[in-house]
Structures are given as C-alpha cells and as structure tokens.
C-alpha cells in the first residue's frame, strides 16, 4: 500500500508491524488523511498472519502534537460530527486483536495523546511531553481523552490535566500511570521492540482473547467481568494453540504456535 502521511514496516524476524506517523513538518499533526491511513494500516496488519504485535510511533522528533488545527478552525458542528472521527480510530486500536505498543517521543498532545491512550502499552522517551491541551484553543478533548485519561490516571488527575491544559514530562506521566516506562530517546524503539518480542512469542489466539477480556471487562461489575473472562478462557480451548502450548509444557519444549 502507498501512504502519504504514515510509513509502515513489517519486521518479519520479530513478527512486528510498525506504523510511523509521518508529517514531521507539522509535528505529525493528525488530519483526516492520517486517520484514514492509520485505519487502513491497522486493518492490513490485523489480517496479516505474520504480524503478531504492532508498534505505533512518530517520525521526526514527535509522536503527534495533536489534531491539525489549521484543518479544523473553520469547520461547522455538523462537519465535525459526521467526519471520520478520531474516536472511531481509537476504538479500532482497541478492537484490533493484536497488542499495540505506543512508542512516544517529543510532543504527544491532544489527539496524539488520545491515540496513545487507545494503545495497549505506552513507552515514553525522556523527551516525551504529554497532555490534553485542547482547552488552550477553546475546545475539549474529542477523541476519547476525557474518558480514557480518567480510567488511566483517576478522575482528579484527569480533571487537573484537562482543565488546565498543562503538559507533563514522560517521568510524570509514568508516575501517574499514563505510561508504563521511560527510557532514553535512543533506546525507545529497541525497548518497544523488546516488549513486542515478549508478546509475539506467545499464542496469537491467547493474546487476542486476553486483550479482549481486559478491554471489555475493565469497566463493568465484577460478576460480568468474570463472565467475560471465563468466556474468553473457554474459547482458548477451541484453538490448536491451546493444545500445542499445554503439550509443549508437558513435553518440556518450546511451543510452535500457529495462531489457529
């Protein structure tokens, strides 16, 4: 596929697909074309059996400084309502069965932060600056920011960040659980790949079911959450991967998972 706002790479030796936001001249500001292209790349990697994990990152010095304000300033309410919204893309990130790691350097603001929060794991470089800064231009987060941020860092800290529009460092983001770890900038992609490799050695079936269970059970009552988990646990027994994994354990060898 040919793209104008992103780059894609498939590292076959690692079984990892990489999507790089690639509008460095505007700090990877997210416009409609980029949203459409990221959606297409996600769909392609989802259907590719050779890819078992995905890394989302930014080209140049930044992850994404937010939405493209120049493309939004004259939009009407109806145009915004019926657009291919960032919210739809964030739900696609969550629905994708393969684990997605956000590798964040530089600015990760507004829509960029919302994209990162929809990934399964976030790793930040020391240069990372994160925040929901929409209040500074007279709007509020529109890509799930008020929702996911609250679930990740708690209602008090979410209100502080959204209502002030302040930008925090990668270290502060790690302290409040917005990201899972912080590394030197020159180690960011290797750290993301290291984590991806820890995932891709496992059964694709189990990875998808585990992600589904966590995603869908997190914000419901305990009994419903347990029922979702039990359904996903039981579904694993319909796969060849479950048989292979358990037989390999009993036979004291490495499993050879087929993703079926």
List, for residues 104-146, the tens digit of each pLDDT value. Answer: 999 999 999 999 999 999 999 999 999 999 999 999 998 999 9
3-class state of residue 204 by DSSP = helix
User: For residue 79, what pLDDT is reported?
Assistant: 75
CATH of the structural domain 204-250, one choice from 1.10.150.20, 2.40.100.10, 3.40.33.10, 1.10.12.10: 1.10.12.10
Between CA 117 and CA 111 the distance in angstroms is 10
Is the predicted pLDDT of residue 72 greater than 80, yes or no? no
3-class state of residue 82 by DSSP = helix
Are 102 and 180 within 8 A, CB to CB? no
Q: Please give the helix or strand (H or E) that residue 40 lies within, else none.
A: helix 32-47
Between CA 200 and CA 79 the distance in angstroms is 40
User: For residue 3, what pLDDT is reported?
Assistant: 96
Q: What is the CATH number of domain 6-200?
A: 3.90.226.10
pLDDT band with cut points at 50, 70 and 90 for residue 75: confident
User: For residue 134, what pLDDT is reported?
Assistant: 94
For the chain, residues classed under CATH 3.90.226.10 are 6-200
DSSP secondary structure of 224-244: HHHHHHHHHHHHGGGSHHHHH
Full-model pTM: 0.94
Sequence-distant (≥ 6) Cβ neighbours of residue 111 within 8 angstroms: 30, 64, 66, 67, 86, 142, 143
Catalytic residue numbers, as ranges = 114, 134
In percent, how much of the chain has pLDDT > 90? 88
Q: 179-218: per-residue pLDDT in tens?
A: 999 999 999 999 999 999 999 999 999 999 999 999 999 8
In percent, how much of the chain has pLDDT > 70? 99
pLDDT band with cut points at 50, 70 and 90 for residue 85: confident
User: For residue 73, what pLDDT is reported?
Assistant: 81
For the chain, residues classed under CATH 1.10.12.10 are 204-250
Query: Mean pLDDT of all residues in the chain?
Result: 95
User: For residue 83, what pLDDT is reported?
Assistant: 64
Tally Cβ neighbours within 10 Å of residue 45: 22
3-class state of residue 23 by DSSP = coil
Between CA 164 and CA 93 the distance in angstroms is 27
Are 17 and 48 within 8 A, CB to CB? yes
């Amino acid at each position: 596929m040919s793209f104008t706002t992103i780059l894609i790479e498939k590292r076959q030796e690692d079984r990892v697909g990489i999507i790089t936001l690639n509008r460095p001249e505007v700090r990877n500001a997210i416009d409609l074309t980029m949203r459409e292209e990221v959606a297409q790349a996600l769909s392609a990697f989802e259907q590719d059996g050779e890819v078992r994990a995905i890394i989302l990152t930014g080209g140049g010095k930044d992850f994404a400084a937010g939405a493209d304000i120049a493309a939004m300033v004259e939009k009407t309410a109806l145009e915004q309502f019926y657009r291919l919204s960032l919210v739809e893309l964030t739900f696609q990130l969550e629905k994708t069965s393969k684990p997605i790691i956000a590798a964040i350097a530089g600015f990760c603001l507004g829509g960029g932060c919302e994209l990162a929060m929809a990934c399964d794991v976030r790793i930040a470089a020391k240069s990372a600056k994160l925040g929901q800064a929409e209040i500074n231009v007279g709007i509020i987060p529109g890509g799930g920011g008020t929702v996911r941020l609250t679930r990740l860092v708690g209602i008090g800290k979410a209100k502080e960040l959204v209502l002030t529009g302040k930008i925090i460092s990668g270290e502060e983001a790690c302290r409040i659980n917005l990201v899972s770890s912080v590394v030197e900038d020159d180690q960011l992609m290797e750290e993301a790949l290291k984590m991806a490799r820890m995932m891709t050695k496992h059964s694709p079936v189990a990875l998808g079911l585990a992600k589904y269970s966590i995603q869908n059970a997190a914000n419901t009552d305990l009994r419903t959450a347990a029922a979702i988990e039990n359904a996903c646990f039981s579904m694993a027994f319909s796969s060849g991967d479950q048989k292979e994994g358990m037989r390999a354990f009993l036979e004291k060898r490495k499993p050879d998972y087929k993703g079926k």
